[in-house]
Amino acid sequence: MTIDLSFFKKHGYQILKGIFPKEIIEPIASFLAQEKDKTLSKIKDFIDFQEPKDLIARIQRIADDDQAFQSLEPQQRNMLSGHFSLEARLSPILHAIPQSAAILDLCAQLLPGQEPRMHMPPTARFVLPGNYFAGVPAHQDVSYNKHIQDFFVVWVPFCAIDDDCGGVMVHHGSGYLPEQIQSPAKKFWLQPVPDYGYEKIHCKMDIGDALLLNKWVVHQSMPNFSDRIRYSSDFRFFGSATTSEKHYLDIAKGEVVAPALA
- CB-nearest residue to ligand AKG: 221
Tell me the closest approach of the beta carbon of residue 233 to ligand AKG, in angstroms.
9
Tell me the closest approach of the beta carbon of residue 223 to ligand AKG, in angstroms.
9
188: left (phi over 0), alpha (psi -120 to 50) or beta: left
Nearer to ligand AKG by C-beta: 107 or 153? 153
- The C-alpha angle 198, 149, 73, rounded to 5 degrees, equals 85
List the 167-172 sheet strands across, edge first.
Answer: 199-202, 167-172, 219-222
- The C-alpha angle 238, 240, 246, rounded to 5 degrees, equals 65
Tell me the closest approach of the beta carbon of residue 159 to ligand AKG, in angstroms.
12
Tell me the closest approach of the beta carbon of residue 244 to ligand AKG, in angstroms.
17
For residue 16, count other CB atoms closer than 10 A to its CB.
Answer: 22
Residue 81: phi and psi, rounded to 5, are -95, 25
CA 167/CA 160 separation, integer angstroms = 9
Tell me the closest approach of the beta carbon of residue 205 to ligand AKG, in angstroms.
12
Nearer to ligand AKG by C-beta: 89 or 219? 219
Nearer to ligand AKG by C-beta: 102 or 170? 170
Give the single-character DSSP code of 240: T
Residue 141: exposure state from Cβ atoms within 10 A (0-12, 13-18, ≥19) = buried
Nearer to ligand AKG by C-beta: 119 or 219? 219
Nearer to ligand AKG by C-beta: 31 or 68? 31
Tell me the closest approach of the beta carbon of residue 155 to ligand AKG, in angstroms.
5
Residue 53: phi and psi, rounded to 5, are -65, -30
Query: Interface with ligand AKG by CB under 6 A: which residues?
Result: 125, 136, 141, 153, 155, 168, 219, 221, 232, 234
Give the single-character DSSP code of 96: G
Nearer to ligand AKG by C-beta: 78 or 232? 232
